[in-house]
Amino acid sequence: METIINEGIPNINTNMGKKVLIATLYNSDPVMLAVTRLGPERLFLLIDDDPSKEQEDALKLIQKSLGGVIEIKTKKTSVYDIVQIAKDCVDIIDAQPNEDHIFVNITSGRKTKAIGLLFAAYARHDRVSKIAYNPEDDKSSIVYLPRLSFKLTENQKRILELIDNKKCKTIADFADKIDLSTAMVYRAIGELEDMDFVYSSDSCYIITDAGRIARL
């Protein structure tokens, strides 16, 4: 991991497009710190479907302090359904203009929210500029997390789609739908199993939560 202490955001050409920050929320301090350092024009905050009083108070403080300066939007998401959280975050990313620069901060809020947002950043690796975390024991530092990517081939994406939609039962079904040889289908499915995106059960293939996130 890349740790930068007492420094601003790395140089990114933002002459075109706006800076967008997507952040988890529970305590307002990490969000206020991230906004101060980044200076985004647009802020998206992930809150619970049924926000706690602490979360509502944090949101009100942020809106009161920053609402007149930047655009603030909230997105209610599940608390524990990581796949749904990731999907909601991907929807936010996809809705931003292509020229915008998207930053992610996973410091505040529940761990499941942070994981869902992190996976969304992986699913949209090409749209996210930085993934940041601010350590509680050193508020002057920023830890930039690796911008990983699921890196699926088009055939793997198609296979995941067919498995998720229960369109195929046998290797021959996949080969016919995708127009691949059975040997290539075996290989692609084997790679997906190695990545824990699918598994076999009772002579059929089942997509995992990781697989559902990977195909977002």
Cα of 153 vs its chain's centroid, Å = 19
- Answer with the residue of higher pLDDT: 5 or 138: 138
**pTM, two decimal places:** 0.86
- Answer with the residue of higher pLDDT: 2 or 198: 198
Helix (H) or strand (E) holding 146: none
Whether 82 maps to a domain, the answer reads yes
Domains: count for the chain: 2
pLDDT of 176 above 50: yes
Positive/negative CA dihedral, 19, 20, 23, 28: positive
- My answer on whether 137 and 182 are in the same domain is no
Are the CB atoms for 86 and 116 separated by under 8 Å? yes
- My answer on whether 91 and 176 are in the same domain is no
> Which residues, at least 6 apart from 1, have a Cβ–Cβ distance to it below 8 Å?
143, 144, 145, 146
Helix (H) or strand (E) holding 164: helix 154-164
Site of tokens 């995992």? 208
Name the band, by pLDDT with cuts 50, 70 and 90, for residue 62.
very high
Whether 49 maps to a domain, the answer reads yes
- Which structural domain, as residue segments, surrounds residue 100? 2-144
Q: What is the pLDDT of residue 89?
A: 97
Average pLDDT, the chain: 88
Cα of 197 vs its chain's centroid, Å = 17
pLDDT of 25 above 60: yes
For residue 105, give the nearest of 202, 27, 183, 22 by alpha carbon. Answer: 22
Last residue of a domain, one of 144, 169, 195: 144
- My answer on whether 88 and 161 are in the same domain is no
- My answer on whether 200 and 120 are in the same domain is no
Helices (H) and strands (E) in the chain, counts: 8, 9
Beta bridge partners of 3: 143
Are the CB atoms for 87 and 216 separated by under 8 Å? yes
| DSSP H helices in 39-144 | 53-66, 82-95, 111-123
| CATH classification of the domain holding 189 | 1.10.10.10
Q: What is the pLDDT of residue 79?
A: 92
| CATH classification of the domain holding 32 | 3.40.50.11700
- My answer on whether 54 and 105 are in the same domain is yes
- My answer on whether 135 and 171 are in the same domain is no
Name the band, by pLDDT with cuts 50, 70 and 90, for residue 100.
very high
Q: What is the pLDDT of residue 201?
A: 81
Whether 149 maps to a domain, the answer reads no
pLDDT of 202 above 70: yes
Q: What is the pLDDT of residue 178?
A: 87
Measured at the CA of 41, the angle between CA 39 and CA 47, to 5 degrees, comes to 95
For residue 118, give the nearest of 129, 104, 103, 108 by alpha carbon. Answer: 104
- The 8-class DSSP code of residue 145 comes to P
Average pLDDT of 8-19? 66
Percent of the chain with pLDDT over 90: 62
pLDDT of 211 above 60: yes
